[in-house]
Chain A
Amino acid sequence: MVLYCLGLEGTAHSFGAGIVTDEGKVLSNEWDMLKPAEGGIHPREASRHHSDLGPRIIHTALEKAGINYSDIDLIAFSRGPGLGPCLRTTATMARTLALKLDIPLVDVNHCVAHIEIGCLESEFKDPVTVYVSGGNTQVIAFAGGRFRTFGETLDIAIGNMLDVLGRKLGMSFPAGHNIEKLAKEGSNYHNLPYSVKGMDLSYSGMLTAAKKLLSEGVPIPDICFSVQETAFSMLAEIAERAIAHTKKEQLLLTGGVARNNRLTEILEGVSERHGAKFHRVSPSLAGDQGAMIAWNGILQFKAGRTIEISDSQVLPKWRTDEQDILWRS
């Protein structure tokens, strides 16, 4: 008999609901992203967005999957890491449904879910994962029963850097796509701080320097070009360090920034140099969405881990390496 898992994602600006079977079939994957009229994301506004739109999104996910509430076998939710108010709103919906439908609840780590949905799609068994989004820049690999962060940003995430820069350049949020488009028209490279520290990196200096280029009258396409080339070279280097260090033979690119074609091209080059296979998670599964939570819920449920409602408080600072990965060995 097929198991159906409803996964709810709501760690930051997006709310998503996805239905996935225990055979790894994604039946539906609905989401909506809060797009503030101006400025960044306010946690309270994002959580209101989730509570306003959540029920409808869940309903649509069920409709598109062609199943009823009574068909759902388990509920998985993003327990962390993320913004407290958003996590709490999402967890409340998950708990309510679990109680109402009298089915098990599974708590999922958002970062781990990004990796596992990528592994499902690529059929990779044990990759080095480059996870790049508005809130995260991490290089993660499995070692000793857990996913461990080999490298990450020491200050701001790459997506955050691109969005803030985009705002300065007069682009709407999220800015990644526009920056990529304009970068193709740029050709003059301007030096920007290249800041790699071991397997960690830092983007705040680059942001400051790029803003300075703007004030000096450097054409916007050249700024976009220089920022992309420098920022992605840094990512390539830490990915490369992680591959050389772990000797793993697969490289997975995921997260919202995975949509960038230039970054993909560079990481393909890295993989080739090290004789590793490469996969970029497809756009519908790369960003924050419910299907990844649902799939991770299935994996965890099959490994025998569910959570009682009374123990299910959210974990805004849940580290990737704090969870024993029971379904891998």
Chain B
Amino acid sequence: MENVIAQGAESIILKTERWNHLFVLKWRQSKPYLFKDIDSHLRKTRTSRECKMLSVARSLGVSTPAVYAVNLDDYTILMDYIEGMQFKQLASSLSEQQLKQFCFEFGRSIGLLHMGDVVHGDPTTSNVIIDSKSKLWLVDFGLSEMNATVEMKGVDLHLIHRALETTHWDLQECMLKATIKGYSDTVGKEANESLSRMEEIRERGRYH
């Protein structure tokens, strides 16, 4: 039994039951409109990278779904199904205090990654899941990278800023502040360098 939970930008997310257990099957389908070499290269590298980075992130103390199987022939990953909701969908229905708390946790998770020189690569509130016990999970590590430089960390933070202003425009100030607090409290002094790089990157965009 399989059903589609989401059609993402680069994959289809299916919910599937095996061994009496619920799993997510993430399938990076072929995109016939792309040049075939680019298409297969992306599907392959993103799939293997995601598998690896989900474990790397967990070893740094960030909650991520565990991977059970990977198939590089059809570009699928079988991983834990997290019963919960995307932070994106939840944000507007939370109390200010709860919202700040989750943002703080989100910032803390990104901070833990950065301390291990890992960037998430797509840190939007769509890729944060909050489960029924209010625990926060990071997912979608297809763009994640190791050996991150200050520039890469700055971009990661810039993407958070961007995601908050486009998706949570009415809450962005409060959310950004709490996220950055969670980040700074976790990373400590070194956070300043990445945070000022974030500002610099924002200014660098032609009109932004």
Contacts and interface: CB of A to CB of B under 8 A. Distances in A.
Interface of A: 81, 111, 135-136, 141, 143-144, 146, 148-155, 157, 189, 194, 196-200, 229-230, 233, 236-237, 240-241, 243-245, 265-266, 268-270, 272-274, 317-321
A143 B38 contact: no
B186 to A, nearest CB: 21
B149 to A, nearest CB: 13
A146 B169 CA distance: 10
Contacts of B166: 141, 143, 148-150
Contact of B33 (A149, A155, A268, A319): A268
Contacts of A243: 9
Nearest to B33: A269
B105 interface: no
B170 interface: yes
Contacts of A269: 31-34
A237 B205 contact: no
A266 B33 contact: yes
Interface in B139-162: 143, 155, 158-159, 162
Contacts of B204: 154-155
A240 B143 contact: no
B205 A153 contact: yes
Given A111-B207, A200-B158, 15 more contacts: A136-B207, A149-B166, A149-B208, A151-B162, A157-B206, A196-B143, A197-B121, A229-B34, A229-B35, A233-B34, A245-B9, A269-B34, A317-B207, A318-B207, A319-B208
* Ranked 9 nearest A-B pairs via Cβ: A269-B33, A198-B159, A241-B9, A240-B9, A81-B207, A229-B35, A244-B9, A144-B169, A148-B166
Given A153-B206, A157-B206, A199-B162, A244 B8 contact: yes
Contacts of B33: 236, 265-266, 268-270, 272-273
B56 interface: no
Interface stretch (B19-27, B58-66, B122-130, B177-185): B122-130
Given A233-B38, A241-B9, A148 B122 contact: no
Contacts of B208: 149, 152, 319
B121 A198 contact: yes
Contacts of B201: 154
Interface string B1-38: 00000111110000000000000000000011111011
